Amino acid sequence: MPDSNRGVLLGASAFLFWGFAALYWPLLSASDPSEVLAHRMVWALLAMCVILLVTRRGWGWVIPVLRDPRRLLPVAVAAVVISLNWWGFIYSVSINETLQASLAYFINPLMSVLLGMVFFSERLRPLQWVAVALGTFAVVVMTIAYGATPWLSLLMAASFATYGAVKKYVDLDGTQSLTVETLVMFLPALGFVVYLEASGAGTAFSVSAGHTALLIGGGFVTALPLLLFGMATRLIPLSVVGMLQYIAPTLIFLIGWLIQGEEMPASRWAGFVLVWLALCVFVSDQFRDRRKARSTRTAVGLRGGRGPAQGRTERPAREGEQPERHDYPSEE
């Protein structure tokens, strides 16, 4: 199988896994979402240990990271933020508000664009402004539909977008980063689990063996799709990954609507239609920008082959120096 096809298969599997997770967490309804989150953190570290063992990544890189505050701090912040996101998802599907989780991951790209503008001085293109305006209007419509602000959706979207922004400062790959993130949260999570069990409020061993197995399995539900996702990103362009990411919220939406039977009055449909319209505008703008970048790169390449263009010459790399690199979108 070609690498590109294998990458699409791995990426689609990761997002399908994340989507079907909306059916997993309600099985743990006997536990409070905070307890489920704590177990997810504890057992996710075990899952990452297994993954590192299977992939033979080793542990030699961990100690230098833990000893360097500049490297550890952004990972620790990412750990706290993604934990908040995990709690929001677990809580929303546990109280049959799965559609709010779906809405969160549909508006997440728009939230990321806003964070880029505010904190990284990124300039929005006209179509991006249109997409953000449509997304904002959709939230207003959904607020009217729910009779209250969909704060769970906004919490999950904002926390996941913040997580992505913080990860810009993390110099580890996805597997290493999640390992350190779970390591950072392990002791607080384990302490909370021990406290619950000691006080009699815990459910790890008092419900059933199946319940215990599901709590432990939560760690692998967390880690496995991330592994598949990491493998996919090495084989396919990020533009393809960006298209695949909408598999998860679409699946979550269908689960909430068709399986869990959440109501979808006309006002909610209107809100989701606005979100989908905003995403269509956003994605079309992304394609347009990438197409323009490819055209520019091709034109530069043709001019470079014919000689200097507009008085600019390409300076050859000096001995021992890396050649100039252009960070165009990946075309692997």
pLDDT in tens, 37-95: 999 999 999 988 888 888 777 788 899 999 999 999 999 999 999 899 999 999 999 99
How much is the pLDDT for 213? 95
Sign of CA dihedral 260, 229, 286, 288: negative
More confident residue, 266 or 309: 266
What is the percent of the chain with per-residue pLDDT over 90, rounded to a whole number? 33
Confidence check: pLDDT of 6 > 90: no
Average pLDDT of the residues of the chain: 82
What is the percent of the chain with per-residue pLDDT over 70, rounded to a whole number? 89
| Distance from C-alpha of 43 to C-alpha of 220, rounded to nearest angstrom | 7
Confidence check: pLDDT of 293 > 80: no
Output the pTM of the full model. Answer: 0.78
Question: Which of 108, 79, 99, 94 lies closest to 34 in space, CA to CA?
Answer: 94
Question: Which residue matches tokens 């959709």?
Answer: 138
